[in-house]
Amino acid sequence: MTREPSPRAWIGVLVADLRFHGARTLKDRRGELNSIRDRLGNLGFSVSQTGPADLPARAWVAAACACGTRAGASGMLESAVALIRDSAAGTGGIETCISLFDPEME
């Protein structure tokens, strides 16, 4: 008897340290930060600002996607990195990782 495969997914995660040069208030960075978050969402990412909430010139953003293949997750992450690098915000760094979520591999 053949066992049915369990659902699994490739999870892509990106964390970016964004720099908003010239921003002196939280309002100064809001427009560009919201634009980046919206555009990542349009690519299929779930996005959250993870810190620091009180520094006008910086924001940390985490974005995650789920795909059926590793290549799909890799392609989405490449698109997200390019989007951030092409934005008006500078970066202090962008880190990415891809993991397989498979309930049978516990």
Enumerate domains of the chain plus CATH numbers: 9-105 (3.30.70.1120)
Return d(Cα 102, Cα 106) in angstroms, integer: 8
The span from the CA of 92 to the CA of 106, in Å, is 35
pLDDT surpassing 80 at residue 5: no
Q: What is the pLDDT of residues 48-106, one digit of tens each?
A: 999 998 999 999 999 999 999 999 999 999 999 999 999 988 999 999 999 999 887 76
pLDDT, position 106: 61
The pLDDT value recorded for residue 103 is: 82
